[in-house]
Structure formats: C-alpha cells, structure tokens
Structure 1
Amino acid sequence: MMETNTTNLSLNYMDSGYEDTQEDRKYWCITENYPTLIISGVFLFVSLCGLVGNMVVIWFLGFQMKKNPFTVYVLNLSIADFSLLLLSLVILTLHFISAVNCFSPFGYNVINFILTILPVFCYYASMYLLTAMSMERCASVLFPIWYRCHRPKRLSGIMCGVLWALAGLVSLAFIGCPLHFPRDCLKVFHGFSTANFLIFAFFPLLSNLSLFIRLRCGSQRQHPGKLYVAILLSMIFMFIFGLPPTLGFLLDAFDIPPYIFFIFSLPAPLNSSINPVIYFLVGSYRQRRFQGSMKVALRRVFEEKATSEEESRVPEDTMVETTV
C-alpha cells in the first residue's frame, strides 16, 4: 500500500513537471518568435482581404460582364493573384503554428517542394500577365487605328496561355537546375531573377510612365482613361512590392538568416492584394470624390472604351441622364 502511494506520487510529480516543461517551452517559443507572430498575423489578414477582393473580380469578370481583350487579361491576372494568396495563406499559417509550437513543418521535402514551386509559378504568371496587359494598352493608345483594325481577335487568350506556360517552364527550371547543375545553379537563379525583374517590371513601368507623361503634358493633352490609370498604378505597385523579393533572392547568396528571407518575400501577398483595391478606387473616383459600389466601379473601369464610344454619339443632355 505504501509502495503504491509512492509510485502514484512520483508519477504525479513527473506528469506535473512534464506539463510545466511543455508550458515553459510554449511560452519561450511565443516570446522568442513574437515579431514573426505579429508579422504573420498582419499578412494573414492582408491575404484574406486580397482573397475576397480577387474573388469578387473573378466573379464579376467571369459571370457578370461581356469579355473584351483587357478583361481576359484581368481575369487571368486575378486567378493568378488568388492562387498566390491562397498559397501565402497556407505558408503564413504554417509559420504562425511553427512559431507558437517550436515545430517546423517545412522540414518535410514534399511540403517544402510544394510551398516553394507553386508560389513561384503564380508569382511569375501574375507578373507576366500584368506586363502583357500594360504593353497592349500602350499599343492601343499609340497605334489606335492599327489596334482596332488589325489586332487578332483571340490575341488575349493566346497570350494568356503562352504566359501561363512560360511561368510553368520557369518553375520547372527551378526544379531541374539543382538536379543537373548544382554548382552553377545559384548563379543562374540570381541572374535570371534580376533579368526577369528588369524585363517584366522595370522597363514596362518606364514605358507606361513615359506614355502617361506624354498624354498629360504633350501639345495635345489627352485623358488616359480609367483603365490605363488602373494598369499604370498596378505596374507601380508591382515594381514596389516586387523589388524586395528580388533583393531577398539575391541576398540569399550571402547565407542570410531564414527569417530575413521570409521578411523580404512578404510583399508578394501585398502585390496580389492591391489590384482589386486599385480597380475600386479608380472606378469609383468621380468629381473629386469616391462614390458607387464595387460592381459599379469595376464596370466603369472595364467598360470604359464601350461607354466612351457610345457617349460620343449621344447628345450631352441624354448622356448626363444615362451616366447618373
């Protein structure tokens, strides 16, 4: 009887000590990773808002509006951004859980592989689609007669398919290069990342800015239109939010800590979340104030060309009645 009591006491003591150790470890994990928890929580909220915004854009362009050359690009862009945000949500949730429990799920090769390749695929697809849309918009402004008369009808769909395939090939290169060229692969990635950012972010931004300045400050001033303003703002934010991931990838050659690389990659969800906000703000801005619902704002942005052509044929009084 005495032995049984002693055994029970010792077991109770061991159990209480184990629980204390677990609680102390969890407390230490939370305090040690407190900045990571805050950052992950903030960007989790941003990713959720971006998911909702892109879902609204996909629903509107896919089911509520007649397609035109630019809405095809925007629809594919929103799908790429939605996919990237969904993956970012998973990655940030895993970071949050690992920061609380001192357990890293990224040590598993399958999980690490999926959560590395798929975001790269969606990120590059988003960048390529936005660049193609901006360059086509520039062509429609600079060469309006050629654009209306000689542009292939299915060019937008073909370009979107080619750009999705290009993003897939780039993702496959990220897989195959370490297997076949392990020594020179890091240098290739650094060079490709820099060239990719310059070609698909920096140079298109310069061309769009120069065209905007030409339209607004030239001898014959023209209003660039809501769609062009939305595309230009998207290009500006893609450059701003795309620069940190590119720098983080370049700094990875100097063996920076993993949390630094994680911080540099965080602006990618911001880039994917900002586009629906841009569409709403540009479409709802009228008479120096913001007005109208999300659906009305999207219609003003993406149906601008059709409405401007109709308004040029309608008398001024009736035009005011139809636009109110």
Structure 2
Amino acid sequence: MAEVRDYIYWVTLIIYCVTFVVGILGNGLVIYVTGFRMKRTVNSVWFLNLALADFLFLVFLIFTIISYTQEHRWYFGLVMCKLNNLFSAVNMFASIFLLTAISLDRCLSIWVVVWAQNKRTVCKAQLISAVIWMTALVCSTPYATFRDLTEHNNQTYCGSSATVEQRSITTIFRFVVGFVIPFLVIIFCYVAIGVRARRLQRNRTQKPLKIIFSIILAFFICWLPFHVMQFLILKAGSDEYLHKVVLLGSPLSASMAFMNSCLNPILYVFMCDEFQKKLKQSICHVLESALAEDHLSFMSSRSLSSHLSRISRKSESSAPLERKDTAISFTECKVV
C-alpha cells in the first residue's frame, strides 16, 4: 500500500509539473498567435478564450504543486485558498461552455449556411464569450465559498467546509451542469454535423472537425475520472475499501483533470495548419527583429571600412594636388 502511494505521488507530481510548464508556454503561444498574429475571426475568438481559461488556471496551479509537495499543508492564507479553488472551477465550466458554443456554432454554420454568413460575426462571438465567463464565474462561486482553512496537528490545510448535504449538491451540480448537459448538446451537434457533411460531401470540413473533436475527447478523458472520484468520495464514508480507492485515486484523477489545460495548445500546433503557419511567421519575425540590427550594423561598418580603404589607396597613388581634392571628398564622405 505504501509503495503504491509513493508511486502515485511521484506520477502525480510529474504530471503537475509537466502540465504547468507545457501549459504556460503552450497557452502563452496560443494567446499571442490568436490574439495578435492571426486575423480576428469567430474561431480565433473561441480558441483565444479557451487558452485564456487554461492560462489563468495554470498561473494558480503553482500553489497546488507546492501544497502537494508539503503533504497538502497550506501556507498561502485564506484568500489564496479560495481563489485557487475558484479558478479551478472557472476553468472547468468556462472550457466546457466554450466547447459547447463552438459545437453549436459549427452546427449552425453547416446546417444554416446563409444565416451563418449574415449573423455569425466576431462581435457576437466576443459577446457570447463574455456571457460564458460570467456564467462560469457564477457557477464556480459556491466552490470558493465552501473552502476554508483547517487546523490539524498544528498544521494548516486548505479544505472543504461544506456539510455532507452541501457537498452532495455541489458535486451533483458540477457533474450535471459542467459535464452531462454540455456533452449531450455536443454529441447532438456533431451527429447533426456528420449527417450534413455526408449529404453535402464536404471534405474541407473534416480538418476543423478533427481538431474540435480531439479537444472534446481530451476534455472527456481528463475530466470524467475526476467526476467519478468525487462521487466515490461522497459514498466512501466508513467503507474501508472505497476509502483506499479514494486515497489512491483522488490525486491522480485531479492531476488528469488539470492536464487538460496543457493539451489544447498541443492539439492546435499538431493539427491546425493555419496556426502552424502563423506561429512559424511569428518566430521568424522575432528572430529577424533580434538579429537585423546587429546584421545591419556589421554590414554597414564593413562597407564603410572597405570604402575608406579604397579612398586611401586612391589618395596614395594620386598627385599632391589630387590629394587635396581627395581629402575634401573623404571629409564629405565621412560627414555623410
């Protein structure tokens, strides 16, 4: 039992660290490319907001990592205890709501083409994204409210202060609103998209569909174990077997849920041709900007030295009278 716990501890810690590093770099690149390098479109607005949700959560993940390495002791105060749990819930709700909006948007753009061309605008996508953020924040508030500091053996821990009934309500709410209903909508949308695409034989729609389907599948695989484990925690009680399962599985399921925050940028890079193109252009532009000044300075100084050497050789082979004119020319060249 102890060996298994140690193994799960190190696996979970590695997942946490890889998620933090890869997620910060990857989502930072996505925010930069979709926010500043790509043309502002409806899809870029969706992906930008997804990256913002992941990036915001990963900024606070460092506190969870430190607490985990200290056997869950908490050193950062009550405010950070509540904020850390709040942004974890906001990330989950905002991500699944955005994926639902993306699925509905894709379904409408294929089934109602004329309407989508006239009504599908960047401004409306931004407005819907703002509503999604507000809804996710409202849905996440209870999880920060029922979070408090507890003392045990003179050590401080950040844990739940909810009663059994409150914990049951919040767990069921998170599972139904943040998982079941959105996935039913998403599945319905993609079944409709598949039927419509087969009828119209639109091969060009396969690439975006693969990207979005991969993101949804990754979200499902990462978050489903977390929700299952939350229900097992409610049922554990005095059951010794379930208590062991929860003790071993809870850290691993949480790390898998957090891992979803670093998977989306990887899917963008490996599956989206436009993102790859813009990312390469951005990297090339940064390298050009960094090297251009030194390159031009080197070339200009080299050209000036060569030019002065030619003038010097010409002046040495000229008559005394010509030396005077050359000196004037040299002075003019130097001024220029």
TM, length-normalised to structure 2:
0.67
**Partners of 2:235 and 2:122 in 1: how far apart?**
48
Check 1:32–1:211 CA distance in 2 against 1; reply closer, same or farther (3 A cut): closer
Q: Indicate whether 1:37 and 2:10 are aligned.
A: yes
Deviating beyond 6 angstroms after TM superposition, the runs of 4 or more aligned structure 1 residues are: 29-32, 177-181
Q: Which residues of 2 match residues 1-324 of structure 1 at below 5 A? A: 33=6, 35-96=8-69, 98-99=70-71, 104-105=73-74, 109-151=78-120, 154-176=123-145, 182=163, 184-196=165-177, 197-200=179-182, 202-215=183-196, 218-223=198-203, 224-255=205-236, 256=243, 257-258=246-247, 260-284=249-273, 295=279
In the other structure, the counterpart of 2:290 is none
CA contact (8 A) 1:230 1:278 kept: yes
> Are the structure 2 counterparts of residues 281 and 251 from structure 1 closer, same or farther at C-alpha, using a change threshold of 3 Å?
same
- Alpha-carbon distance in structure 1 between the residues aligned to 2:260 and 2:3: 29
- Number of paired residues? 259
Moved more, 143-152 or 218-227: 218-227
CA distance in 1 between counterparts of 2:188 and 2:64 reads 35
1:19 is matched with: none
Q: Residue type of the partner of 2:201?
A: R
Contact 1:80 1:125 in 2 (8 A): yes
Q: Is the 8 A contact 1:238 1:271 kept in 2?
A: yes
Q: Take 1:30 and 1:177, find their aligned partners in 2: how far apart are those partners?
A: 33
Counterpart CA distance in 2 for 1:219 and 1:114 is: 48
Unaligned runs of 5+ in 2: 149-160, 237-242, 283-336
Pairwise CA distance, 1:90: 2.8
Corresponding letter in the other structure for 1:199:
I
Tell me how far 1:71 sits from its aligned partner: 1.0
Change (3 A) 1:219 1:33: closer
Does the CA contact (< 8 Å) of 2:83 and 2:144 recur in 1?
Answer: no
1:184 aligned counterpart, secondary structure: helix
Alpha-carbon separation, structure 2, partners of 1:106 and 1:48: 22
Rounded Cα–Cα distance in structure 1 between residues aligned with 2:129 and 2:5:
45
CA distance in 2, matches of 1:230, 1:72: 15
Which amino acid counterpart does residue 128 of structure 1 have in structure 2?
F
* Structure with larger Rg: 2
Point out which structure has higher relative CO (alpha carbons under 8 A, 6+ apart).
2
What is the rounded CA distance, in whole Å, between the counterparts of 1:30 and 1:93 in structure 2? 22
Identity, % of aligned pairs?
20
- The answer on whether the counterparts of 2:45 and 2:122 sit within 8 Å (CA) in structure 1 is no
Question: TM-score, normalised on structure 1?
Answer: 0.69
> Residues 73-109 of structure 1, C-alpha deviation per residue, up to 9 Å, x if partnerless?
111110001112222233123312x14xxx7227964
Instruction: Point out where structure 1 has 5 or more consecutive residues left out of the alignment.
Output: 1-28, 286-290, 299-324
